[in-house]
Structure 1
Amino acid sequence: MDVGFKAAGFDLLAASELDKYACDTFRANHPESKLIEGDIDVFGEELYSYTAVDVVFGGPPCQGFSVAGKMDPDDPRSKLIFSFCNIIEKVKPKAFVMENVKALGALSKFEAVRTALISRFQKAGYTVTTHILNSKDFGVPQSRERVFFIGVKNGINPIYQGHFNKYFKAAPTLRDILIPLGKPGTKENDRICNAKVTLAAKPVLRKSPYAGMLFNGQGRPLNPDGWASTLPASMGGNRTPIIDNNHLYYGEGSWVEDYHKHLMAGGKPQGMHDVPSYLRRLTINEAALLQTFPKDYIWCGPSSKVYSQIGNAVPCRLAEVVASCVRDALSGSQGTETITVDSGENLEFAFT
């Protein structure tokens, strides 16, 4: 969320991150900010010295609440949402933003967790509102829903769903975003994924050709004329989404749609390697653009780690919208500053 908050006018004072490569990426893009590398529960006290902070924002690990995971609220990583509470209680910012997967904000099985979380924030003196936002409603070419717990100190007007309406923006299609970037292997699109695309021997069919499982691995095909589904943190290798070059660049029919139609009509699956060469994996550059990162953003680490960093991120444009709503609520405050705290599998906090 760092990029989005900076775009909304906040300054990053410090960050905490556990992952080595994410630390390298942060340093490369935010050399002016302090970075605390390590477990937030061990090194978090370094952050308590920051006073007169406007906002704390963060995205604690969500594997225990994720539909893509086991959805186990007892997963140790799930406890890090309460590490976020510790930061709020000690630093006492004017406002905070905590992001997580939609399930934490929507499913009844997590109601006890939500209640405990909000109760702690309220006892610390905050009015808390919960918002489930879809990235595609704010100019991001990706249908990606996330929950945001936004708190402001009692006495400050809280942020309601209607406050986001002024930032609504229709999302472009993948075609709109990817074609100007250039084809894989060109100067601005040079971080390619060489993982082969192979067909599933026992395909799982859904109504849409872009759902189900037509291919081996978890990488699903993307429709150039629509939005991407959520880009997962597990991207890399055969878990990377698939693009039809001929459909994207030359306006030819979709091989994926034709093959799906064949299977839905009762046709037999083709051989594992019977895939045309123009079906390929989404590149790192393309994935970053679909998450609305700037083209000049610097990524550090091997490809698999970079894909993970991209998939774990909140789309920059969505983060900017949330940050702008917080900025609006705090309008009139002077000397806005931000601390980002990111620890343990993308546990991310920030203070403004």
Structure 2
Amino acid sequence: MMKEITAVSLFTGAGGMDIGFERAGVKTVFANELMKEAAETYNANHPGNVMVNDDINNVIDKLEEFRGVDFVFGGPPCQGFSVAGKMDPDDERSKLIFTFLDVVEKVQPKAFVMENVKALGILEKWEPIRKKYLERAQSMGYSCIPIILNATEYGVSQKRERVFFIGIKGNGDPFFEYHMRDLIEQQKQKAPIVKELLQSLGRAGTEMNPDTCTAKITFATRPIMRKSPYAGMYFNGQGRPIDIDGYANTLPASMGGNKTPFIDEEYLYGEAESDWVVEYHKGLLDGTIIPEFKDAPNRLRRITINEAARIQSFPDNYVFCGNKGKIYTQIGNAVPCKLAEVVAKAVIKYMQTEM
């Protein structure tokens, strides 16, 4: 009988990463989150009183008691590193990846997994920070590698690319990265297209899929065109149309208003032959449509909370707390559950077979 695998969860948010680790057989013994509503969401779905809703700097000294757990995992806020943000290394939030390592140093887990934006894993701009992070992990006795994964290759219908820093204590394996990549890639699973994923929820406004985002969709009078109908900016606001025959772009934490992506509902439910957005884009390109400022047709609508949660691979029965805007934020901020599960399973298997 294998002993229970335990973990400390940091920057927990609504618990997307925790769900993945739980599915891989890990029990969270302590969780920490600053945002009140996200902590409430976590408690509503994980009634074990392990959540502490406070600033991580206030709880760090209390973590001694969890010394020797198997894992420390979490996704520190990434706005400081995000290409979408200001990319400021002095942003307070950028320092939290080192606070994560402070906890690792205190708790001395067998392994750690830290998720962040892809930029931190590859951009030259972040090379010094990456180097400092990896050197610090090494000085603490952890061999650590960054691995970039695209969620669509692991069952998540969203083009979300993220870096996972995986550290294992006392690991002298020269082929660590090779083995870890192999264990992750063995779990590759093509994600369903958005149409297949969302259809069974039913129309927006029905029982399983309440209509939750009322932000209007309006046309831009000066569209910025791209080859793809899903890439240009010919609607106002940052919410873009989703290609339901493919995958959603990364769901942002700023959803809830006009930054919420949208879909053609008639096309989603098979009542229309083609996506309205594609036809409109074609008309703009060939000059048969003159752009004017007006509301988009009703068949175009923002994705609902339940749809956003499904795109992030949360279970359908997951309970979210807070107002609508806060719930959209929690969903956008989360690590897709299925992606976290893949990484957790790979690390556990590595520790069982290679260590």
**TM-score, with normalisation over the residues of structure 2?**
0.91
The one of 29, 39, 63 aligned to 1:23: 39
Q: Give the counterpart letter for 2:248 in structure 1.
A: A
Query: Is 1:310 matched with 2:326?
Result: no
Q: Give the counterpart letter for 2:340 in structure 1.
A: A
Query: Is 1:3 matched with 2:23?
Result: no
CA distance in 2, matches of 1:64, 1:267: 43
Shift of 1:61: 0.9
Shift of 1:265: 2.1
Shift of 1:188: 1.2
Q: Give the counterpart letter for 2:352 in structure 1.
A: S
Q: Give the counterpart letter for 1:95 in structure 2.
A: A
Query: Is 1:49 matched with 2:65?
Result: yes
CA distance in 1, matches of 2:170, 2:23: 27
**Where in structure 1 do 4 or more consecutive aligned residues deviate above 4 Å?**
none
Q: Which has the higher contact order (CA 8 A, sep 6+)?
A: 1
Shift of 1:263: 1.5
Q: Give the counterpart letter for 1:318 in structure 2.
A: L
Determine the structure 2 residue equivalent to 1:121.
Answer: 137
Determine the structure 1 residue equivalent to 2:183.
Answer: 163
Determine the structure 2 residue equivalent to 1:350.
Answer: none
Instruction: Verify the 8 A CA contact 1:191 1:285 in the aligned structure 2.
Output: no
Determine the structure 2 residue equivalent to 1:291.
Answer: 312
Q: Map Cα deviations across residues 300-328 of structure 1 (whole Å, 9 max, x no partner).
A: 00111000000001111000000101111
Determine the structure 1 residue equivalent to 2:3.
Answer: none
Instruction: Verify the 8 A CA contact 2:33 2:39 in the aligned structure 1.
Output: yes
CA distance in 1, matches of 2:304, 2:149: 26
* Structure 2 SS opposite 1:331: helix
Q: Any gaps of 5 or more consecutive residues in structure 2?
A: 1-16
Instruction: Verify the 8 A CA contact 2:33 2:52 in the aligned structure 1.
Output: yes
Mean CA deviation greater in 181-190 or 109-118 = 181-190
Q: Give the counterpart letter for 1:264 in structure 2.
A: L
Determine the structure 2 residue equivalent to 1:192.
Answer: 212
Determine the structure 1 residue equivalent to 2:123.
Answer: 107
Q: Map Cα deviations across residues 106-159 of structure 1 (whole Å, 9 max, x no partner).
A: 100100000000110000001111100000000111111000110001237535
Determine the structure 1 residue equivalent to 2:160.
Answer: 144
CA distance in 2, matches of 1:123, 1:322: 24
The one of 285, 290, 299 aligned to 1:264: 285
Call closer, same or farther: CA 1:82–1:269 in 2, change over 3 Å. Answer: farther
CA distance in 2, matches of 1:269, 1:124: 62
* Structure 2 SS opposite 1:65: coil
Query: Is 1:62 matched with 2:78?
Result: yes
Q: Give the counterpart letter for 2:154 in structure 1.
A: F
Instruction: Verify the 8 A CA contact 1:21 1:301 in the aligned structure 2.
Output: yes
Q: Map Cα deviations across residues 29-55 of structure 1 (whole Å, 9 max, x no partner).
A: 111141111110122212222122001
Determine the structure 2 residue equivalent to 1:172.
Answer: 192
Q: CA RMSD in A?
A: 1.5
Instruction: Verify the 8 A CA contact 1:202 1:269 in the aligned structure 2.
Output: no
Mean CA deviation greater in 15-24 or 36-45 = 36-45
* Structure 2 SS opposite 1:167: coil
Call closer, same or farther: CA 1:84–1:202 in 2, change over 3 Å. Answer: same
* Structure 1 SS opposite 2:258: helix
CA distance in 1, matches of 2:158, 2:50: 32
Q: Give the counterpart letter for 1:4 in structure 2.
A: G
**TM-score, with normalisation over the residues of structure 1?**
0.92
Determine the structure 1 residue equivalent to 2:148.
Answer: 132
Q: Map Cα deviations across residues 67-113 of structure 1 (whole Å, 9 max, x no partner).
A: 11111111111011110010011111000001100000110010000
The one of 245, 258, 262 aligned to 1:242: 262
* Structure 1 SS opposite 2:65: coil
Q: Any gaps of 5 or more consecutive residues in structure 1?
A: 334-352
Instruction: Verify the 8 A CA contact 1:244 1:279 in the aligned structure 2.
Output: yes
Determine the structure 1 residue equivalent to 2:275.
Answer: 254
* Structure 2 SS opposite 1:132: strand
The one of 344, 347, 353 aligned to 1:323: 344
Call closer, same or farther: CA 1:123–1:269 in 2, change over 3 Å. Answer: farther
Q: Map Cα deviations across residues 171-228 of structure 1 (whole Å, 9 max, x no partner).
A: 1000101101111111111152111111111111111110121211110000111011
Q: Give the counterpart letter for 1:328 in structure 2.
A: K
Q: Give the counterpart letter for 1:236 in structure 2.
A: G
Q: How many residues align?
A: 333
Instruction: Verify the 8 A CA contact 2:223 2:291 in the aligned structure 1.
Output: no
